[in-house]
Amino acid sequence: MADRLGVDFALFHKERKKANEVSRMVLVGHVKDKIAILVDDMADTCGTLCLAAQHLSDAGVSKVYAIVTHGILSGDALKNIEESRLEKLIVTNTLPQAENQRKCPGKIEVIDVGNVLGEVIRRSHYGESVSKLFHEVPY
């Protein structure tokens, strides 16, 4: 993704001993004076995202954003987000987010994926290629 966007790339290597608990996290890459964007498939308690944001901040990034497909946001998630170094958490509407946005104003932004899901259903119904959606935006 970084190559396609023409931006630098860094990553975290993380080890978990059990669910929702990171035992070790190592940043690989140079991030000083950069804007960091964390990308993940889902965020539950947001503990890992917030810990990563703290590590990035300690490494000298100017801002940290997170983009997550599924914002589960359970337990202490909203408290973790509010108290974190994250400028903003961006999630899709695969789960309702209005209440989370109300409780954590200005920190959670929602992207509507309804059109994409509708297009996937339409293509599946008519036997058309769904994988084509990975390379083009149909609307």
pLDDT, one tens digit per residue, over 129-138 is 999 988 876 5
Question: What number is the average pLDDT over the span 110-124?
Answer: 95
Give CA–CA dist 18/77, Å, rounded: 18
The overall pTM is greater than 0.85: yes
CATH number (3.40.50.2020, 3.40.50.2300, 3.40.50.300, 3.40.47.10) of 2-113 reads 3.40.50.2020
For residue 58, give every residue at least 6 positions away whose Cβ sits within 8 Å of its Cβ, in sequence order, or none: none
The answer to whether the beta carbons of residues 104 and 76 sit under 8 Å apart is no
pLDDT per residue as tens digits for the range 72-115: 999 999 999 999 999 999 999 999 999 999 999 999 999 999 99
Mean pLDDT (whole number) for 38-63: 97
Residue in this structure with the two tokens 């995202």, named with its chain if needed:
49
Nearest in space to 61 (alpha carbons), one of 33, 85, 30, 26 = 33
Q: What distance in Å separates the CA atoms of residue 54 and residue 77, rounded to the nearest whole number?
A: 15
Instruction: Look at the alpha carbons of 54, 55, 61, 67 in this order and tell me if their dihedral is positive or negative.
Output: negative
pLDDT in tens, 51-80: 999 999 999 999 999 999 999 999 999 999
